[in-house]
Amino acid sequence: MEYEKLITKLAYDYNIFNKDSSIENILELFKDTNEISIKELNLLIFIIINEKSYSNFCKELKNITNIYSDEQLSSLFLSFIAIANSDSIDITMQYRNKLENEKELNMVSMTNSNIKLENNYFSCNDIIDTTVDLLDFNFKLFKYITNNKEIISSTINYMNIDLVRENNKFLILKTIYEYICFENAFLSEVSIYKYKIEYKDKFHILKYINLLKVNEKLISSLMNTHNLKIYYFDNIYIENLKINEMTGEIFFDIEKKSVKNMYIEGRMKLYINSLVIYHYYYDKNYNDMALNFFRVFIALDYILYNVSNYITDTKHNINFYLFKINKKLLSEYCTKITNLDSNICDDIIEYLTYDNKSSFWNKPLIKNGDFYHLLITPIKYGNIIFIVDEYMNNKTTCFKDKKGNLFEKFVVDEITLLLSEKKFFYKIDHGKYKISKKEMEEIDFILETKNTIIVAEIKCIRYPFNSQLIQRYETIINKAVDQIIRKTTFLIKNNKKFQNKKISFQNKKIIKCVITNYSLFSGTERSGVYIIDINMLRKYINVGKEGFIKYDLSTREKHEIAKNLYNTEDGIF
């Protein structure tokens, strides 16, 4: 069996972290492999070590939970929530202290920032992400073991804490396994205490570079919109916030003042600017839906902002970190601060409530009787682009069908505007190129400039949140590459046969590309086809240079380090 087929089988049919996996079946798979390479041998060792370890752990949990009372089980679920919030507070306080000593700030230093935990240094971003990933992992595992019991209590039993912590290592192992199955990684070194991962290509590096570019784009956009006016919020403030040490219940007063709430305004600016990533910002109906969602999400964010200011140290009872708020208080507060109808607020709150199916990244509220538990990491540090995308797809049935067409129109409109402002020569076309009823191709985008013709397939994807989605969208991109190669060949071969088409392919360089709405695959080349995203293309045309920005925290000055990509119309493509 070829290595790629083996990986596919291990990913979908014999995943060692699924309840139905069998080591006997997995060993049979490896027997079908003619020659076992070092990659396959390391993978087999990894599976043998960890399949048994994970299987035994699940059996042990099953035995423990079988003798637990319902009250003890419900306490166990609460401990997941409290530990996630406690870890997030601890990491945030360390990160805040670290930033106070920084002289300058840029996206590279922020993304690569490390903090010390248990005598080792870890990435701040990775640790913050892990608080939610572990919560997802624990909830799903324990829901399976307890046969999906819907039980949750009001306080935590300390006997559960070590049990929850023990599960951390299996999340790490599961993540390694998914990298291998879905992201072209392989194990170059394996032992009981150490696993070394390498990648077959440089895609994982580009993935992080492109994330930096997205964040840089958002911050740059924010820096350039100081005069953006926010009309959506009253000058509402949270005052006299208190947290019950033994239950984690949050209390506060809602007060209206004569001065602007600068935290609220700043967050709204950032969220509005995040819509530069999404093309539906220019469609009023979808834009209004997104803005309403942002308003409620910022209201939740503002509660946790005040919670963070309330906490001066991490020496608290574990129940303190349950961070729960009465649903009547939450509804009243959201309605007052957002100026939205209570039905709209309640609908968005209901959408954000965990449903045992989704991830806590896009469902950061947990309903518990008359209370909601708030999860810090997905509300304060979550990817708002992913969450609002999921919200739009779930709340509007026609959005899934329309967003592809909206994106194609957006690409045409944006490139037209930018090239017109530059006063460069250009022609843009799209639509059906037909020779006969049987011979035709649907072309998403053709751009003719002074010396070049760009033929593009346009693909609108949702935010790729995990390894499985990355693989799924890579399949979509690869299919688009095949399409654009076929379509370009068709255009060149039959150029003289098209009537009433304004693009001429004579004596010009032809560039084939796939344009997406998100930057995950940007910068890669496949079979002579370039993968780019709309923001990369916009920035290239508009600015003509690439680089990054540093901010001096003492002087508040912005310094740009950049390289020119073109200087004149002749060099643009």
pLDDT reported for residue 223: 40
Mean pLDDT of the chain: 76
Partners of 120 in beta bridges = 117
Q: Which bin fits 147, alpha (ψ -120 to 50), beta or left (φ > 0)?
A: left
pLDDT reported for residue 224: 43
Kindly indicate the confidence band of residue 105, based on its pLDDT and cuts at 50, 70 and 90: very low
Predicted confidence (pLDDT) at residue 453 exceeds the cutoff of 60? yes
Predicted confidence (pLDDT) at residue 3 exceeds the cutoff of 50? yes
Predicted confidence (pLDDT) at residue 159 exceeds the cutoff of 60? no
Alpha helices in 13-69 (DSSP H): 23-31, 38-67
Q: What value does the mean pLDDT take over residues 403-414?
A: 86
pLDDT reported for residue 512: 94
Cβ atoms 531, 513 nearer than 8 A: yes
Residue 322 neighbours by CB distance under 10 Å: 28
Q: What value does the mean pLDDT take over residues 383-410?
A: 77
Q: Which of 47-51, 194-198, 442-446 has the highest mean pLDDT?
A: 442-446
Q: What value does the mean pLDDT take over residues 2-27?
A: 76
Q: 169: closest CA among 125, 137, 210?
A: 137
Q: What is the pLDDT of residues 259-271, one digit of tens each?
A: 777 777 777 766 6
CA distance 545 to 543: 6
Residue 336 neighbours by CB distance under 10 Å: 18
CA distance 297 to 382: 11
CA distance 504 to 546: 31
pLDDT reported for residue 438: 83
SS (H, E, C) 446-514: EEECCCEEEEEEEECCCCCCCHHHHHHHHHHHHHHHHHHHHHHHHHHHCHHHCCCCCCCCCCCEEEEEE
Q: Which of 218-227, 267-276, 280-289, 512-521 has the highest mean pLDDT?
A: 512-521
Q: Where are the domains of the chain?
A: 3-105+115-201, 209-396, 399-571
pLDDT reported for residue 248: 92
Predicted confidence (pLDDT) at residue 152 exceeds the cutoff of 70? no
pLDDT reported for residue 227: 38
Kindly indicate the confidence band of residue 149, based on its pLDDT and cuts at 50, 70 and 90: low
Q: What is the pLDDT of residues 349-365, one digit of tens each?
A: 999 999 888 888 889 99
pLDDT reported for residue 220: 47
Q: Which of 7-16, 161-170, 423-432 has the highest mean pLDDT?
A: 423-432
Ranges 34-43, 208-217, 406-415, 489-498: which has the least confidence: 208-217
Q: What is the pLDDT of residues 170-225, one digit of tens each?
A: 777 787 888 788 777 888 888 766 788 787 766 666 665 555 555 555 444 444 43
Higher pLDDT, residue 502 or 486: 486
- Helix, strand, or coil here: 549? strand
What's at 473, amino acid-wise? Y
Residue 445 neighbours by CB distance under 10 Å: 19
Fold of 399-571: Trna Endonuclease; Chain: A, domain 1 (3.40.1350)
pLDDT reported for residue 210: 55
Higher pLDDT, residue 108 or 266: 266
- Helix, strand, or coil here: 170? helix
Residue 35 neighbours by CB distance under 10 Å: 5
Beta strands in 55-206 (DSSP E): 104-106, 114-117, 120-123, 185-190, 195-199
Q: Which of 125-134, 148-157, 372-381 has the highest mean pLDDT?
A: 372-381
pLDDT reported for residue 228: 38
pLDDT reported for residue 171: 73
Q: What is the pLDDT of residues 55-97, one digit of tens each?
A: 777 777 777 667 666 666 667 778 888 888 887 887 777 766 6
Q: What value does the mean pLDDT take over residues 467-472?
A: 81
Q: 264: closest CA among 288, 292, 237, 228?
A: 237
CA distance 185 to 170: 18
- Helix, strand, or coil here: 151? coil
Q: 540: closest CA among 213, 203, 211, 209?
A: 213
